[in-house]
Amino acid sequence: MSEKKGIVILGIFAADTAYKAKRLPHIAETLMGSGFTLGPGGKGSNQAIAAAKAGGKVTFISRIGNDPFGEMALAAYAAAGVKANVMKMEGVSTGAAFIFVDEVSGDNAIIVAPGAAGLIGIEDVDANRMEIESAAIFMTQLEQPLEAAMRGLSMAKRAGATTIFNPAPARAIPDSVYELCDFIVPNEVEAAELVGHTIETDEQARAAGGILLKRGARAAIVTLGARGALYLTAGQSEFVPAFSAGNVIDTTGAGDAFLGGFATAISEGCAPVEAVRFGCATAAIAVTRPGTAPAMPSRAEIDALLRSS
C-alpha cells in the first residue's frame, strides 16, 4: 500500500460510566442496577485502542481536560501503545458517557457529553498536518464537530491517504462529505438515518449502501450486529457473516472494535473484504467482555479466531 505508514484517528475520549439493569428507568423513577463499570471510552478513542491492540501503528488526535478522567485517557493510550497527540485543557472537563447495558441481551443505549473534545476544531487538524499527510489511513467520526472531521478527511484525501468515515452519532451531513470517503462505515441504525428508510433486511441494507455510493463514497460498509457486515462498491456486493467467540455480554464497543480491526487490516494491505472479515472477528471477541476499550482483543486473539473459523 505505498510508502505511507500508520493510522491517524481524530475523535473524542469519554470516560464510560456503564450501568447494567433490566431496563432504562422512566422519568422520576429509580431502578436498582445489577452492575457498574468505569473505564476509557469515546468512539475515536476506542477505535484507536482497538487498532493498536490489533497490531496497528496508531496516532490519536483529541482534547481532554486536566482532571482524573484525562489521566485515565493518557494511561489507556500508554498501555495500548497509542501515540497520543492530545491537547490537555484547563478549566474544561474531560468527556464522559452514560451507558445503559441490558443485563439480559447486552444491548446498549448511550448519552455522550464530549467535554473538552467538543472543542476540537480545524486548528487541531492543522496542527497534525504532518501526521495526517504521512499516514496510510485517516479515520474519524461525528462525536467531535463536523468541521474538524471534514478538514481531516479533506487533508488526508489530498495527501493520498485512505479515508474511513464512521458517521456516528448519525446526523444530517452535507453531500460534500461523501466524496471524501474511501470507506463510509455506519451501522444499520446510522445508515437508516442517513438514507431515510429502515434497515431490517439484507436488501434494505444493500439499497442503503447504494445510496451512500451514489452520494459519492467509493465504498460503503454497513455493520449489521449479529448478522455481520455488508461491503458494497459500484462493482461488488458481499455479506460477511459475524463470528461467534462466546456468549455476548456487552455490545457497546462492537462498532469501534470492528473499525479498529478494519483500519489495521487495510493499513497492512489487506483486500477490503478480508479487512471486513478481520473487523468482524475483532468485534466478535470484544462483545464477549464488559466495557469498550478494555474489551478490545489482542492481535493474537483475533488471528486465533480467524484460524479456527
Sheet containing strand 35-41, strands side by side: 35-41, 14-21, 94-102, 108-115
* Binding region for substrate: 14-16, 42-46, 143, 256
Q: Which of 196, 207, 184, 157 is nearest to 259 (CA)?
A: 184
What is the rounded CA–CA span in Å between residue 92 and residue 257?
A: 28
Q: How much is the average pLDDT of 14-33?
A: 94
Amino acid at 160: G
What is the Cα–Cα distance from 170 to 167, expressed in whole angstroms? Answer: 6
**Domain that includes residue 150, residue range:** 5-308
pLDDT value, residue 1:
43
User: Can you tell me whether residue 272 is helix, strand or coil?
Assistant: helix
Give the model confidence (pLDDT) of 150-165 as tens digits. Answer: 999 999 999 999 999 9
How sure is the predictor about 2, in pLDDT bands with cuts at 50, 70 and 90? low
DSSP helix/strand/coil, 13 = coil
What residue numbers does the annotated binding site for ATP cover?
A: 187, 223-228, 255-256
Q: Is 256 a catalytic residue?
A: yes
Residue 111 buriedness (CB in 10 A; 0-12 / 13-18 / 19+): exposed
What residues are paired with 62 via a beta bridge?
86
Whole-number percent of the chain with pLDDT over 70: 99
Mean pLDDT of 82-108: 93
As a whole number, mean pLDDT of residues 292-304 equals 96
Judged against a pLDDT cut of 90, whether residue 291 lies above it is answered with no
The enclosing domain of 271 has a CATH number of: 3.40.1190.20
The catalytically annotated residue of 124, 126, 182, 256 is 256
Please name the residue ranges forming H helices in the chain.
Answer: 43-53, 68-80, 122-127, 129-134, 146-159, 188-195, 202-214, 254-267, 272-286, 299-308
Specify binding-site residues.
14-16, 42-46, 143, 187, 223-228, 250, 252, 255-256, 286, 289, 291
Phi and psi for 24 in degrees, rounded to 5? Answer: -75, 145
The structural domain count of the chain equals 1
Mean pLDDT of the 289-294 span: 91
**Interstrand relation of 162-165 and 14-21 (parallel, antiparallel or unpaired):** unpaired
Cβ atoms of 293 and 86 within 8 Å: the answer is no
C-alpha cell at 256: 469501534
Half-sphere exposure of 172 (CA within 13 A, CB side): 0
